């Protein structure tokens, strides 16, 4: 799914959660950040190549919005880092391991990880075999589930319509609660 929709879904989630248990501003920001991060981190090697070597901004921006088979050419090291960072950030085993390590360190679940998890779960079903199927079981396999590509026009319209409806419901229910 696109990064804006990922962040909005996470925002809807933290809004609901916040009504049940008060969340600090830091927790909310970290949750939204982790919901967006998986689609940003793999751009870092390309940005480094642009900033510190002979890469171009056109390649960076072209990569960010590329469709399969139309990606700009990248040096092998950039390609390798970018690919594996993308896999790592979309991997349920990696996210599970991180959640476990953080839980062992804190003896409590760290709520912002829900942002990351939401990104992975949503992406598994909103990518298709033809549109960057998500390597959800990386590093065991890079094969992914054949879902509905989020770029499909009817899906995109219904996704944002659903988000707008949820947003309106959240605002209205807040107003009603405040008016009591």
- One of 23, 113, 123, 126 touching Zn ion (CB under 5 A): 123
- Cα distances (angstroms) measured from residue 82 to each of 47, 109, 137: 10, 29, 17
Q: In whole angstroms, how close is the CB of 123 to Zn ion at the nearest point? A: 4
Cβ proximity to Zn ion, 39 vs 60, nearer residue? 39
Stretch of 21-29, 37-45, 67-75, 136-144 lying at the interface with Zn ion (CB under 5 A): 37-45
Q: In whole angstroms, how close is the CB of 119 to Zn ion at the nearest point? A: 6
Stretch of 46-54, 116-124, 145-153, 166-174 lying at the interface with Zn ion (CB under 5 A): 116-124
Q: In whole angstroms, how close is the CB of 6 to Zn ion at the nearest point? A: 7
- One of 30, 32, 35, 38 touching Zn ion (CB under 5 A): 38
- Cα distances (angstroms) measured from residue 125 to each of 16, 69, 122, 131, 135: 23, 21, 6, 11, 12
Q: In whole angstroms, how close is the CB of 145 to Zn ion at the nearest point? A: 13
Cβ proximity to Zn ion, 23 vs 118, nearer residue? 118
Cβ proximity to Zn ion, 53 vs 66, nearer residue? 66
Cβ–Cβ under 8 Å, residues 31 and 10: yes
Q: How many residues bind Zn ion (CB under 5 A)?
A: 3
Cβ proximity to Zn ion, 60 vs 124, nearer residue? 124
For the purposes of burial, counting CB atoms within 10 Å of the CB of 33, is it exposed (0-12), middle (13-18) or buried (19 or more)?
middle
First to last CA, the chain: 38
Stretch of 22-30, 61-69, 77-85, 117-125 lying at the interface with Zn ion (CB under 5 A): 117-125
Q: Which residues in 98-135 are b (16+ Cβ under 10 Å) and which e? A: ebeeeeeeeeeebbbbbbbbbbbebbbebbbeebbbbb
- Around 151, how many Cα atoms within 13 Å sit in the side-chain half-sphere? 10
Token pair belonging to 119: 């990104």
Q: Based on the shown chain and the rule CB under 5 A, indicate whether residue 126 belongs to the binding site for Zn ion.
A: no
Token pair belonging to 65: 């919005």
Question: Residues interacting with Zn ion, by CB under 5 A?
Answer: 38-39, 123
């Amino acid at each position: 799914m696109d990064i804006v929709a990922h962040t909005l879904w996470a925002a809807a989630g933290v809004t609901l959660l916040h009504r049940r248990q008060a969340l600090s501003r830091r927790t909310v920001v970290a949750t939204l950040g982790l919901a967006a991060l998986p689609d940003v981190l793999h751009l870092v090697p390309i940005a480094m190549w642009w900033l510190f070597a002979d890469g171009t901004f056109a390649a960076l921006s072209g990569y960010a919005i590329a469709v399969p088979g139309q990606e700009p050419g990248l040096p092998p090291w950039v390609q390798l880092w970018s690919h594996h960072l993308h896999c790592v950030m979309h991997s349920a085993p990696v996210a599970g391991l991180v959640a476990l390590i953080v839980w062992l360190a804190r003896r409590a679940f760290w709520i912002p990880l829900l942002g990351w998890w939401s990104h992975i779960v949503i992406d598994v079903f909103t990518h298709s075999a033809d549109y960057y199927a998500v390597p959800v079981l990386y590093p065991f396999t890079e094969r992914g589930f054949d879902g509905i590509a989020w770029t499909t026009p009817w899906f995109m319209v219904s996704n944002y319509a659903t988000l707008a409806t949820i947003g309106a419901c959240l605002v209205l229910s807040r107003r009603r609660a405040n008016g009591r």
